[in-house]
Structure 1
Amino acid sequence: MLKRSIFLLLLLSSSFVSSQSLAEHQLVTASDTLKKHLFLKSIGTGYFPTKYFNFDLRYLIKFNQYEGIRTGIGGVTNNDFSEKYRINSYVVYGFRDNRFKYSIGGGMRLSENTNTWLNLAYTDDLQETGSTKYITDDRVFQFFEPRLLNIDLFHKHVTTALTLEHQISDHLLSKLDFAVSDIDPTYNYAYVLNGKNYSTFNLTAGILGFQWSPFSRFKETILGTQEVKSGFPKFSFQYTKSFHDVINGDFNFTKLDFRTIFEIGNENSHFAQIILVSGMAIGDTPLTHLYHAYPNNIRKEQILQRFSVAGLNSFETMYFNEFFSDKFFTFQLKYFIKPFQVTDRFKPQLVLITRYALGDMDNQDRHQGITFDTLNYGYTESGFELNKLLYGFGLSFTYRYGAYYLPDFSDNIAFKFTFNVSL
């Protein structure tokens, strides 16, 4: 009887230990799976996470026509360093202009419930002339930024910025930015105002931005509030006010910017993407802060000499620095055909594309040293992409027609690579 009791006790103990080991194994496996998911999520947003510091992959290496190869290092501290404070910085070097650029900043969280942060940053870097950055944009990371390769019109800026970011709700993000900048174009340019030529100038500006994603789904994770399902449409609005004679500001102007993105259909089948962008600058606005229409074509005589990589949302037949506007509107329609299943791994996809741009400019004669046209008559191009042919590479063909059709037929054609990779 005693032997039987001992045997049953050992059997129960063995079962308990086995169950406990299985539970521990499942817990470890679940933990490892979560860590891998968060690691891939960080890489997908452009960060390589370490214990206290997440390295920013955007600064590793890039190329453009002014800097040549641009390489460096940067990043931001994470929650293991502090949940209330953060430090972010980067330093890069351009091998063609032989110059270091850098930024150093930090932030303090004012409220955890609304994810409210107060940030301060000092930056000495370059920015593309005529480009508009929405301060509320979610972080967008690409392993390869095709349009960047051909940009040559930059201005230097030394900027001190104080930013307040506040999550009004999961669906509505707001940011308020106050910045003082010294602007120095890297090209021959002067803005003429009241008989004075400004080849360099100071700007003091406030920016208020909102991003509204009413149909997206969000979830709290270790990385913070994350969008787990994109819903459309999405809306971005931005108001900019530059102040004359405030902290040595040279110009008084106002900018209004708006963007909306629609997607209709199923990404696994046929679907359409529509992007509408508009902007208006009112007042004394230098070329650095006006608008181009996302051009992505270089000035070479032959089609194959212009062969490069197509951008994601750029005008492929529009030449760099060809058009600038102080008010503009662009429309882009992409229709994605269901991928052709040639094999289980080879599934090329055809995308039909049409783009349209309209713009105008007051007081064009104020901008000296650079020649450009406006978009008064409407710019049109159409074409197609055949993507995912080999390792994310594909081909695109675009044709320019309408009011800005060029006399030489070949100058209206853009034939390029495409490159699309996502994690």
Structure 2
Amino acid sequence: MHIKLSHIFKISLLAILFNTNLSLAQQKDSTSVEKDSIRKANFLNRLGNGFFPTKFLDIDLRYLVKFNQYEGFRTGLGGQTSEDFSNKYRLNGYVVYGFVDKQIKYSLGGGFRVAPKTNTWINLSYTDDLQETGSTQFILDKRFFQLFEPRLLNIDLFHKHITTKVSVEHEITPKLLTEVQLATSNINPTYGYNFIVNNKNYHAFEVSTSKIALQYNPFDVYKTTEDKTTLEKEGFPRFTFQYTKSYKSVLGSNFNFSKVDFRTIHKVTYKNNSHTLLTLTGGIAEGETPLTHLYHAYPNNIRKETIMQRFSVAGLNSFETMYFNEFFSDKFSTFIVKHYFKPFNISQRFKPQLVLTSRYAVGNMRNKSRHQNITFNTLNHGYTESGFEINKLLFGFGLSATYRYGAYHLPKVEDNVALKFTFNITL
């Protein structure tokens, strides 16, 4: 058969064009799949941080439904503008309603970025809400989010606060974050508390404070793409430091006091897919510090007669056998060890995990008599509890058992035991 060279050339050219188009189509499909994968990962990451993202507004899931002993059910809506709205300005806020106290609480705020390279923001906010007494917050823990926060269910000791604050966030490096905050607050405890200073009795009071916070994560691994730096791998140990100073007579402030707070978290990972998590937390308050700004040790046990009446949900880093409002300190330290064994590979979907826990707290309180109309103990002799968890038995729920022993062991054995649900879910 005689085939002309021109025909061979045409057939070869068509084959090259076909293969080129096929290759381009495959690249386009690959790029599309990669973009979809990035979008999905971004969506899950924002959801895991407590936001349901929309085009211009990220809905804050923390404010949808909560429950505590003072407000009962607390429900509302919150959110902040997304980067699609603006990468230079942001607005945020929330409004909630408590069905038992029948009060509306809210916050309004915003910020503007002054230096994109160091992610430096100046923020302003006004808040009228409640805060748990004795709960020191690290201001750099902005996006600590739990789908379900078990400790909130049983908290009954709150103080109202109306707070105006201005802050500056700045990244010295991606591994070293800082924030400076100035705030003035009107504090009004919801319980019959009085604070005596210089023979003067205070129930409601004003505080004006400055805070500086540092978060240092030296072993984090970051990836930079298209001038954007993202966290690729979380490293340990991690360190957080915060200093607070209250100024008397500044903007009507009633007290002089200072606080130093510190936390370090370390994770040791083993080859058999198990790991140990260690958390050390400490704080010292000096000066005329009211109970609202002192420390508890994150208790999570309610005062009921029997073990089953006290049955509730365990927290992540709370003391499960310590009763609410049992201890307060002006200096304290806690050390928590949790060892996570390799999950039991029972089936594709059923992989429960055994966790051993041990917690220790020590503290002190000077000038205890200043705090009137409230009864509490101190942690001078050291508080210890140990137990275990079996997590992810059904729909993220598991079971835990904890026993209180040592210096603060109670006379009735059953009062030292806490049986609870656990809840763990990963997005």
Equivalent residue for 1:201, pick from 200, 205, 221: 205
State whether structure 2 residue 159 is matched by structure 1 residue 155: yes
Provide the residue aligned with 1:339 in structure 2: 343
Which residue, out of 377, 391, 394, partners 1:387? 391
- Are the structure 2 counterparts of residues 319 and 223 from structure 1 closer, same or farther at C-alpha, using a change threshold of 3 Å? farther
Deviations 1:230-264 (A, max 9, x none): 21111111000000000100000000001111111
How far apart, in 2, do the equivalents of 1:195 and 1:105 lie?
38
5 Å-filtered alignment, 1:296-311, equals: 296-311=300-315
Q: Match of 1:306, SS?
A: coil
Distance in 2, Cα, partners of 1:191 & 1:10: 89
Aligned to 1:294: 298
Q: Does 1:419 find its partner at 2:401?
A: no
Q: Secondary structure at the match of 2:312?
A: coil
2:377 paired residue number: 373
Shift of residue 78, structure 1, vs aligned partner: 1.6
Other-structure match for 2:80: 76
Structure 2 partner of 1:104: 108
Q: 1:364 aligns with which of 365, 368, 386?
A: 368
CA contact (8 A) 1:359 1:374 kept: yes
The answer for the alignment partner of 1:26 in structure 2 is: 30
Q: 1:255, 1:280 within 8 Å by CA — same for their partners in 2?
A: yes
Query: Structure 1 unaligned runs (5+)?
Result: none
Instruction: Report the alpha carbon displacement of residue 224 of structure 1 after superposing the two structures with TM.
Output: 6.3
- Give deviations 1:106-132, integer Å, cap 9, x for gaps: 111110111110000001111100001
Mapping for residues 37-48 of structure 1, pairs under 5 Å: 37-48=41-52
Deviations 1:41-68 (A, max 9, x none): 1111111111111111111111111111
Matching of residues 387-406 of structure 1 within 5 Å:
387-406=391-410
Runs of at least 5 residues in structure 2 that lack an aligned partner in the other structure:
none
Q: CA separation of 1:267/1:245 partners in 2, compared to 1, >3 Å: closer, same or farther?
A: farther
- Quote the Cα distance in structure 2 between the aligned partners of 1:230 and 1:74: 28
Q: Aligned to 1:325, what secondary structure does the other structure show?
A: coil
Distance 2:205 2:357 in 1: 40
Residue number in structure 1 paired with 2:178: 174
Percent identity, aligned pairs only, is 58
Q: Which amino acid aligns with 1:376?
A: N
Q: TM-score, normalised by structure 2?
A: 0.95
Match of 1:234 in 2: 238
Superimposed CA distance per residue, residues 115-153 of structure 1 (whole angstroms, 9 cap, x where no aligned partner): 110000001111100001101125111111111111111
**SS of equivalent to 1:299:** coil
> Is the aligned partner of 1:188 residue 2:218?
no
* 1:365, distance to aligned residue in structure 2 (A): 0.8
Q: CA deviation at 1:227?
A: 2.8
C-alpha distance in 2 between matches for 1:113 and 1:221: 14
CA distance, structure 2, for counterparts of residue 377 and residue 11 of structure 1: 84
- Deviation sequence 1:83-128 (CA, Å, 0-9, x none): 1111111111111111111111111111011111000000111110
Asked if the contact 1:137–1:211 (Cα under 8 Å) also holds between the matched residues in 2, the reply is no
1:401 maps to amino acid = Y
Pick one of 76, 88, 91 that aligns with 1:87: 91
Greater mean alpha carbon deviation, residues 391-400 or residues 346-355:
346-355
Tell me the distance in 2 between the aligned counterparts of 1:88 and 1:188.
33
Provide the aligned length of Structure 1 versus Structure 2.
Answer: 423
CA distance in 1, matches of 2:328, 2:261: 15
Q: CA deviation at 1:272?
A: 1.4
1:351-379 Cα deviation digits (max 9, x unpaired):
11111111111111111111111111111
Displacement, 1:8?
4.8
Query: 1:273 is matched with which residue: 270, 273, 277?
Result: 277
Aligned-residue RMSD, C-alpha: 1.7
Counterpart CA distance in 1 for 2:20 and 2:398 is 57
Alignment pair present for 1:261 and 2:265? yes
> Is 1:137 matched up with 2:136?
no
Deviations along 1:305-348, one digit per CA (max 9) or x if unpaired, are: 00000000100000000000001111111122222222333222
Equivalent position SS for 1:249: coil
Letter in 1 for 2:323: Y
CA–CA distance in structure 1, aligned partners of residues 130 and 69 of structure 2: 13
TM-score normalized by structure 1?
0.96
**How big is each residue's C-alpha offset from its partner over 1:211-231, in whole Å with a ceiling of 9 and x where there is no partner?**
111111123579964432121
With over 3 angstroms needed to count, the CA separation of the structure-2 counterparts of 1:324 and 1:28, relative to structure 1, is: same
* Aligned equivalents of 1:307, 1:174: Cα separation in 2: 40
Q: Which of 137-146 and 370-379 deviates more?
A: 137-146
Matches within 5 A, 1:313-328: 313-328=317-332
| Distance apart, 1:27 and its partner CA | 1.8
